[in-house]
Amino acid sequence: MAVPFFRPELHDAEVNEVVETLRSGWLTTGPRTRRFEEAFAEAVGARHAVALNSCTAGLHLATVALGLRRGQGVLVPTMTFAATAEVVLYAGAVPILVDCDPETLSLDPSIIPSTLEALETGQLPVPADTEVVGVMPVHVGGLMLDIAGLEAETAARGWWTVEDAAHAFPAAWRAGAESPWRRCGAGTADVSCYSFYANKTITTGEGGMVVSDNAELAAEIRSLSLHGLSNDAWKRYTSKGSWDYRIVAPGYKYNLTDIAAALGLRQLERAEAMRLERQAIAARFNDAFGGVDELELPPDSTDRVHSWHLYQLKLRLDRLNIDRDAFLVELRERGVGYSVHWRPLHLHPLYEGLGWRAEHCPRASEVWRRTVSLPIFPGMRDGEIREVIDAVVELCRRHRRSA
C-alpha cells in the first residue's frame, strides 16, 4: 500500500463555500476574507488579524512594520525553513543563526546568552558590533517552545519577537500544571505568523495570517499588504466606499483572496477536530515505536497542546547499521512517504557563503542527520497507519546493529 506524506482533507463544506464565492461576484480580498480574519483572531485569542497570501509574506511585513533596518541583527533558529531567515536578508539585515534544543529541535532560549557572547567575541561570522533588535522563534512540528524563557530573554534586552507559527495552529503552552493556558498567538509575540499552505494544519491552498494585539502594527501590515494604499478594493468598491485612496508607504501585493478565504473559513470550523485526529495517530505511532530501541520519539508534554503538524522520529544511528538517508530509501521502496525537517540553514550554500559552518551550531549539525518526518494527516486510513508502523519497525529490526 502506497502511503503519501500528506493528503489534504477537504469536505463538501469547503467545496460549496468556494462555489458560493465564485457565484458571489467578489473573488479577491473582500467579505469572506474579513470573516476569516475575525474568526481566526477569535480562535487564537488575538485582537487583530490580517490575512495574507503566505506565512512568508507575514514574516516579511512584520519585520518591515517593526522597522528592521540594514545592518541590524535578528536571532533566527538554524532549524527552520528558508523563509524565516530570508525575510531578514530582504532588509539587508543580518540573520544570526541560533542552535536548537536537541530534543524539540526548536530554538533553545537558554543558549541565547552564549550566542550573544559568541557574537561579541567574534566567534560567529557576523560583525561583532551588530545591533540585535529581535528574535524570530519557530515552534517546530507544532510543539510550542518555552515561551516564558524566551520572554525573559527578550524583555531584558528590549527586543521585539516575530513568531513563525507556521506549524503551531492550534497549539498552546503553559508554564506548569498550575498556570493558565496560552494559545499560540494570544500575546505570545509582537506578531505571530501562520501558514495555510496545502500540507498545514488548516489550508487555503496557499495563504497565511498574521495576528497581533498591537492595533498600529496590524494596520500597517494591512496597508503594506495592499501596495501601501490607504483603502483596499473592498472598501473602495462597496456602495459606501469611495474611489479615492492615498499611497502612504511603498507596499507589496500580499493580500489573500476570498476564494482562498472560503476554504479557510470551513477548515477553521474543523481545526480542533483535525488536530485531535492527528493527535490520535501520533498516539498510535508512540505506542508502536516506544519499545523500539533504535528510535527516539518526538517530545510531548502535559504543558503543551501539540498541533502535531509533524511527527518527527530521531534514529539512534549508533544502534543501526545504516544511516538516515539509506533508511529513507528503504521507506520509499516500501511505498511510505516521508520528509526531513530540515537541513539546518547554516549547512545551506547561501549561509555557508556568509561564513557559517557546522561547528557554529553543533547540536543541529548532529541531530538533523537522524531526523525523519512520517506521514500524519486527518483522514489517514487505518491501513495506512499500520503500513507506516510496519515499515519503520521492520527496517529497525532488519538493520539493528549487533551487540
- Annotated catalytic sites, by residue? 200
| 87/83 Cα distance (integer angstroms) | 6
Q: Report the distance separating Cα 45 and Cα 51, nearest Å.
A: 16
Cell of 29: 480580498
Alpha carbons 209 and 118: distance in angstroms, whole number: 35
Strand order in the sheet with 160-164: 48-52, 208-212, 191-195, 160-164, 132-135, 73-77, 94-98
DSSP assignment of 315-355 equals E-GGGBSS-HHHHHHHHHHTTB--B-----GGGSHHHHTTT
Pair 74, 95: CB distance under 8 Å = yes
Is the CA virtual torsion 61, 67, 70, 73 positive or negative?
negative
CB 219 within 8 A of CB 14: no
Q: Are 104 and 137 in contact (CB under 8 A)?
A: no
User: Are the C-beta atoms of 85 and 95 separated by less than 8 Å?
Assistant: yes
Please tell me the distance from the alpha carbon of residue 226 to that of residue 28, in angstroms, as a whole number: 12
Whose CA is closest to 369, among 377, 360, 358, 353?
358
Q: Whose CA is closest to 6, among 162, 172, 268, 199? A: 199
Question: What is the dihedral sign for C-alpha 80, 82, 88, 92?
Answer: positive
**CA–CA dist 400, 394 (Å, integer):** 10
Q: Nearest Cα to 65, choosing from 249, 220, 279?
A: 220
Sign of CA dihedral 108, 113, 114, 117: positive
